[in-house]
Structure 1
């Protein structure tokens, strides 16, 4: 949450750590986020926090939905996340949301404190909600006692929590400790033990993933774990089911892995009655009845029908996701509605949707319709690696997509590339190269990409970096709003030329790259006599 000259100007999600979503209007609906704070002229402050659903309000909200004949929401975590990303602020305002503020990331001209605890105290005076259970301790024993206390008492809280965070209080010591990649050495999360419960496995079902993989899951007798009702759990793959000897009608040990994903640990053998049934994988796809196939080097089974309806739905969900084309407001229900209405038969159809088509969908009004169409248009300018990742090529995630993008001029270069050429790229082996070649040799896939280009999607890499060792051994920090490139652009440039990017200025920092409103990192760089350069000066170093 950014305040400029004391006024709230920007609210955004964490996103991928570099680019998030603009949720300013939604943030302004939260009662514990003030519209203005005390400030000096030309001040800028970047405040970090987490929005959550208080448990009592969440349960009341679900009761109200059920009384209206609506489906209740599954858990507070997803409800908070989904509510905050709504296109219509009025919807967010009617959701039971609250917020805890836990840090200041950038501070320029408002206050200067020496410790994290003093900063939190100051934030509280400005009207922010700060967790009342925070505590300053002076020994490891006190940390251990604090952890043990909340391990036992966490269920007394009006919100879900999966652990505590331990931070070094002194900012000076935080600076000395620094960070490794994006992980600060001065803070660590200490998770509570996952709760294990017993329930009955009623049936084993199959989901068809976007790549055609058949993913088994357990249908369970509903059980509450950590305040969340669990009805389904992952079973990973068929080999894992056999290894754990999990059977239909078994009583099983279950826990929420990371307090998020329900996971079956194994059967309760002493409760077997003889009525348990050994599970076998189907021979045909449950979605389209096509024959399934198993590759010799893969534990998964696959439906290889490219027109399988379940594959397509999951492919679209992947295509619009945050790490791909990042289309806000296009949730799973909306995707299903578009498919049922025969408006969405390929990913490219998204870019030909009209106002009249979208507003006719359930739950859409004028503002949300305009916002969705604007989000679809904005996604056309995503970098090439986002589009490559969105295609859903087997073994090609965001990292491989980034490698490909840095080594080609445009996506059409991949149409003619051979496996031997692809394996010369760092990080791409024979299996990945074969998958890429197979994808781009398919005429339907080529047509889709040509259509993307015709509809105005960015298909060029826009590479501006040179591959060299000109920055070898140098450490950079980036601060402020960059004018001509994104932070991810510069991270790629620096890494590709032998340098390293860190988050905090320290004694080992060689250069600080500054944009507009650089904040406290600039002050720190001057104190440590770190050389300060502009975007253009970095490019001139290559």
Structure 2
């Protein structure tokens, strides 16, 4: 390896490490996002060319782990103790008196108590080698790969400390939590109750890439073990952690109970000013020798206490219950409230989640209710104040029709969600269009979420069928489009008309009808007309189609909005038949193909469709069970593996000949 190249790699790593520290820890970036992305890409290119020089602490290795089968147990060398809670100033004064009786006058640190997930990080010779959850304090789980995705955790310390174990709290920033729940609500997924639950669920994802998407953060609050260093005070150790480029918990030194109580009150008043949720304030003896003298009980250290703040609750009146329809058609009730000040903001509404929630709490329009903020963020109704209920109130009734489009609503068989069944409901338009155009559905290249949103905002598309009447010159006027991009989009839409019926069925987004069910139904009935004419009994007689799927499909196909959509698509020339042969006429049944390299005759998606039409299966990885590897130009490691395993390899010419022989080659 040339010395200049090695020097460039090392220089890029140092620059990127410094930039990450300034951005994620100091919150004071000096490098622009553009420069950071440019340098990171250059480093990725160099490491790809010289893989033997990739190191675990490189900025490129933040999300490099494989999907895990499970988490290994880790026994903590130094136990991660929990703290004794106190709930009043009197109890806090009692804690202080016990400490002073034992060790005399002393100083304390007072810190906010982060409501997250406690972890231990281990470093050897300055390199991050392992991270584990607290678990029961003695045994936790190895979540190293997920912790690597947290960009405020240094993978290499500025000083090669022989050995260091530190403790911190992983959290999800408030802004990230709000955005994540908004996305989950739009997608019809269950909401996280609070940032702590969201952080815990994210840190225990088996796929590190999912954890990375959740944008977790961490704040350090203790040195568990250190070699080559010694400290007199806890505050001194925190400053050491700061020097090691960790994000460290803010703290104040207090000399007496009056100062402690004043700081506890200040933290409580400023709860919403932190980037993370806090559920209390932690009071710790600062001098480490005094901590050793005080020791611990069987459960808690005697040198620390956690003051817990009670949730702020206030009364408000339910002025109305409004139904909102999400992108997946879920009807979500929301209470309109008389304004009330909670946790630093004015609250005028609260989610009521679903029909069951309303019935369980018996919430009615006109009721006086007790309101609080779950996790200091999301307003929620705690309970009704029955003695203040007006005499003329009535139990709330959920609507039987969608308030947006008027289509009937139905309840999920496996949950409490009630959904609009409309195929062209405006409330679901963005989600429906994005799904309709997605790769596994109609595969309209270039029609992603941002362009879908622009088309809807411009009023060009009000239902999926409108895509097929778009004009290139009109689309070209949209922001960030231009004539060439518009022409490419129209061409992609035109190509999608030739897709197999199975893709169209999946594109409709019918509840319970996924890719597999769509392929089974398309192969069995052969055409959309035949499918529409089928009874529920005929649908359930199809292999792998159960009664729930059959009912959902039948209701959807016979709704007025679906009938209109199908009519529009027929008029536009969209294919509504299947090229897939019935089960008894599938010559490639039981055969598994792997595609690698570039084919001239087909795209990979088209080649896969040809294989599946003849009953074959397409896989992304080569194994001894693979029947054939189809190798196009510039075939890579899959070809090498196939040759090593003795798997038959087909050239593009061989592949086309096989399709012709089996009746599956109709031209690209």
TM-score normalised by length of structure 1? 0.53
Say if 2:611 and 2:618, in contact at 8 Å, map to a contact too.
no
Aligned to 1:81: none
Aligned to 2:622: 505
d(CA) in 2 for partners of 1:281 and 1:96? 54
The reply on whether 1:334 has 2:454 as its aligned counterpart is: yes
Deviation of residue 239 (structure 1)? 1.8
Residue number among 578, 586, 602 corresponding to 1:461 in the alignment: 578
**Is the partner of 1:325 in helix, strand or coil?**
coil
* 1:57-136 → structure 2 map (5 Å cutoff): 118=52, 120=54, 130-131=60-61
Residue number among 543, 546, 551 corresponding to 1:429 in the alignment: 546
d(CA) in 2 for partners of 1:500 and 1:263? 47
* 1:77-226 → structure 2 map (5 Å cutoff): 118=52, 120=54, 130-131=60-61, 143-145=130-132, 147=143, 152=168, 205-209=322-326, 213-216=330-333
d(CA) in 1 for partners of 2:484 and 2:551? 45
Aligned to 2:467: 350
Larger Rg: 2
Aligned to 1:518: 635
Deviation of residue 245 (structure 1)? 8.4
Q: Which gives a bigger RCO, structure 1 or 2 (Cα 8 Å, sep 6+)?
A: 1
d(CA) in 2 for partners of 1:121 and 1:213? 47
Bigger helix fraction: 2
**Is the partner of 2:374 in helix, strand or coil?**
strand
Deviation of residue 301 (structure 1)? 4.0
* 1:170-319 → structure 2 map (5 Å cutoff): 205-209=322-326, 213-216=330-333, 237-240=354-357, 242=359, 250-254=371-375, 280=396, 282-283=398-399, 287-288=403-404, 299-301=416-418, 309-310=426-427, 315-319=432-436
Deviation of residue 450 (structure 1)? 4.2
**Is the partner of 1:250 in helix, strand or coil?**
strand
Residues 289-312 of structure 1, C-alpha deviations (whole Å, 9 max, x = no match): 959756696844456778764355
**Is the partner of 1:434 in helix, strand or coil?**
helix
Say if 1:199 and 1:253, in contact at 8 Å, map to a contact too.
no
Structure-2 change in CA distance of 1:139 and 1:133 (3 Å) = farther
Deviation of residue 468 (structure 1)? 7.3
**Is the partner of 1:399 in helix, strand or coil?**
helix
Say if 2:402 and 2:420, in contact at 8 Å, map to a contact too.
no
Deviation of residue 519 (structure 1)? 0.9
Structure 1 stretches lacking a partner, 5+ long: 1-31, 33-51, 62-92, 167-182, 225-230, 256-261
Deviation of residue 394 (structure 1)? 3.9
Aligned to 1:530: 647
CA RMSD of aligned residues (A): 6.3
**Is the partner of 1:334 in helix, strand or coil?**
helix
Say if 1:216 and 1:235, in contact at 8 Å, map to a contact too.
yes
Structure-2 change in CA distance of 1:292 and 1:484 (3 Å) = closer
Say if 1:384 and 1:458, in contact at 8 Å, map to a contact too.
yes
Deviation of residue 512 (structure 1)? 3.9
Say if 1:210 and 1:392, in contact at 8 Å, map to a contact too.
no
Say if 1:196 and 1:254, in contact at 8 Å, map to a contact too.
yes
d(CA) in 2 for partners of 1:424 and 1:488? 30
Say if 1:251 and 1:272, in contact at 8 Å, map to a contact too.
no
Which 10-residue stretch deviates more, 325-334 or 237-246?
237-246
Structure-2 change in CA distance of 1:98 and 1:254 (3 Å) = farther
Say if 2:523 and 2:580, in contact at 8 Å, map to a contact too.
yes
d(CA) in 2 for partners of 1:310 and 1:188? 28
Structure-2 change in CA distance of 1:134 and 1:335 (3 Å) = closer
Aligned to 1:176: none
Aligned to 1:387: 504
Structure-2 change in CA distance of 1:526 and 1:263 (3 Å) = farther
